[in-house]
Amino acid sequence: MIPVSPPPTGYADHMTTTTAPPTTSPEEIADAVRSARAAQLGWASVPPADRAGMLRAAAAAVRAHTDELATTLESETGRPAASGREGVLAGASTLDQYAELGPLHRGKSLQGSPEATDFMIPEPRGVVVALTPWNDPVAIACGLLGAAVVTGNTVLHKPSERCPRTGELLGQIMSPHFPDAVLATVTGGGDIGALLASSPEVDVIAHVGSSETGQRIAAAAARTGAKVLLENGGNDPLLIDADVDPEWAAEQAALGAFANAGQICTSVERIYVHTAVAPRFLEALCARAAAWNEHPQPLVDARQRAHVHDHVADAVDHGARVLVGGHIPDGPGATYPATVLTDCLPQMRVLREETFGPVAPVRVVPDFDTGLDEAATGEYGLAATVLTGSMDHAQRAWRTLPVATVKINAVFGGAPGGAAQPRGRSGNGFGYGPELLDEMTTVKVVHVRSAPCPSSH
Ligand code: NAD
């Protein structure tokens, strides 16, 4: 979701915030759920075009507050405001998109016999809880909130505890455009998220975040019967074929692994490079990593940095070589250098788990098929990239890789409105695009048949 930027130049010492983050109490959560439930039928009876009009006004308000949202996010997560602005504008566009699509969302009709018609109508599911992460919080929240409210649901949004003020600000900007209790923001950590996820009054739990949390939410929803929509972590491979320019491959690899300090759900997490181009590719990747390290972007916090460094240390313990970076620097903030590792082995955590930091672990493979086999392994199934000049290899890759999105010859990109279904630990359902309207609704079939004419005697 994060728009691609060149290497960041800003440095925010965002670790210095001292005031306690806002937290909603369990009693207030119960009240908020009750209010959302009470408001839902009234909101569902508002004509779709009117709901869309309110959403359009909310989108304009978000756009008008772009700078404020981006600087608040920078102060909380260290993401440079210039890059944060792109996320806010992407979020506002998504709200506009759902304002257009919402009133057009409809089912099909069937004529089963000459006297009867069946029609399928989407209805709101009820109360939606949206649990969102910190790495692109405005864009992600806008997608879920827009699709949920335009289809007639009421929504409780809980932003990440790592950016609660950004989430609250988004709520203050958007919610006045809707009737009371249609869109409310609550704050707190995983315990508050868990409270919402276990409420029997909640109909949909939409979670964008880590796979571990997604599994806990799915378990809670199995008890209440709520629908679960999960967009979770990834361990995306980049596969580099023998026939590509190694300089260009290195540019793509660096962008994929280091943009936003590697904190993008579809960051490049592991690299399989054909032996024919490996030496020149590694040399070029190291040069690019060194360039990124001239303007390091901090990670979200020291906890995340410790997690990233654990992966690097585990790789080194098992025989990987650090070519660039790989150490915790002195100084304030949670900076971690762009890091290049080689001689990586499949069992290393850095290849098996999501690192979510600026680390490019490289494995040299003897041929394309070996790389494709290794890229296809693992528990996650979010996205994968293949750089190749061979149409045959590209076709084989997109047919066989068990992931939601396969990108050929570009680490980032994709048409606006695109949506795919993650596999394995990466989640399930459509978290984006027009299909998200289907996820936020449930279909009723109405069968209408003419009554027989009254008998004449
Ligand atoms: P996280 O799962 O820790 O937190 C996300 C939200 O879930 C937060 O609001 C959090 O408070 C809440 N939460 C935590 N524990 C909970 C529980 N037990 N019950 C209910 N809610 C709970 O994730 P994060 O660290 O904020 O985000 C980073 C992760 O998000 C990475 O794994 C990244 O890949 C993933 N992500 C995925 C996508 C995608 O589209 N697939 C997009 C962005 C980020």
- Which residue in this structure is represented by tokens 């995983």? 190
**What distance in Å separates the CA atoms of residue 154 and residue 36, rounded to the nearest whole number?**
6
CA of 40 to the centre of ligand 1 (A): 26
Provide the residue ranges of all domains of the chain, joining segments of one domain with +.
26-233+422-446, 236-379+383-408
Helix (H), strand (E) counts: the chain:
15, 18
Backbone angles phi, psi at 145, to 5 degrees: -65, -45
Pairing relationship of beta strands 127-131 and 154-158 according to DSSP bridges: parallel
Q: Where are the beta strands (DSSP E) in 28-170?
A: 109-113, 116-124, 127-131, 154-158
Residue 1 Cβ contacting ligand 1 at under 6 Å: yes
DSSP letter string, 265-299: TT---EEEEETTTHHHHHHHHHHHHHHHTTSPPBP
Residue nearest to atom 26 of ligand 1 (CA): 133
pLDDT at residue 49 in the model: 97
DSSP 161: T
CA of 214 to the centre of ligand 1 (A): 7
**Cβ neighbours around 456 below 10 Å, total:** 4
For the CA of 266, the closest atom of ligand 1 is 34
Residue 265 Cβ contacting ligand 1 at under 6 Å: yes
Residue 208 Cβ contacting ligand 1 at under 6 Å: yes
CA of 210 to the centre of ligand 1 (A): 4
CATH architecture, domain defined by 236-379+383-408: 3-Layer(aba) Sandwich (3.40)
Mutate to test the pocket of ligand 1, among 23, 142, 213, 405 (most ligand atoms within 8 A of CB): 213
SS (HEC) of 109-126: EEEEECCEEEEEEEEECC
Residue nearest to atom 23 of ligand 1 (CA): 209
CA of 389 to the centre of ligand 1 (A): 36
DSSP 457: -
**What distance in Å separates the CA atoms of residue 263 and residue 256, rounded to the nearest whole number?**
10
pTM: 0.94
Residue 428 Cβ contacting ligand 1 at under 6 Å: no
**Taking the chain (457 residues) in consecutive chunks of 10 residues, what is each chunk's mean pLDDT?**
36 49 90 98 98 98 98 96 97 98 93 92 97 97 98 98 97 98 98 97 98 98 98 98 98 98 97 98 98 95 97 98 96 92 98 98 98 98 98 98 98 90 97 96 95 79
Token pair of 410 as six digits: 């570009």
pLDDT at residue 13 in the model: 44
Residue 194 Cβ contacting ligand 1 at under 6 Å: yes
**What distance in Å separates the CA atoms of residue 244 and residue 1, rounded to the nearest whole number?**
27
Token pair of 27 as six digits: 């009693």
Residue 199 Cβ contacting ligand 1 at under 6 Å: no
Asked if residue 317 lies in contact with residue 326, where contact means CB atoms within 8 angstroms, the answer is: no
**What distance in Å separates the CA atoms of residue 385 and residue 253, rounded to the nearest whole number?**
10
Mutate to test the pocket of ligand 1, among 29, 73, 94, 131 (most ligand atoms within 8 A of CB): 131
DSSP letter string, 309-359: HHHHHHHHHTT-EEEE--SPPSSSS-B---EEEES--TTSHHHHS---SSE
Angle subtended by helix axes 137-150 and 81-101, to nearest 10:
10
pLDDT at residue 453 in the model: 86
pLDDT at residue 456 in the model: 63
pLDDT at residue 19 in the model: 64
CA of 384 to the centre of ligand 1 (A): 21
**What distance in Å separates the CA atoms of residue 167 and residue 185, rounded to the nearest whole number?**
7
26-233+422-446, what's its fold?
A: Aldehyde Dehydrogenase; Chain A, domain 1 (3.40.605)
For the CA of 431, the closest atom of ligand 1 is 40
Q: Which of 140, 150, 126, 186 is nearest to 48 (CA)?
A: 150
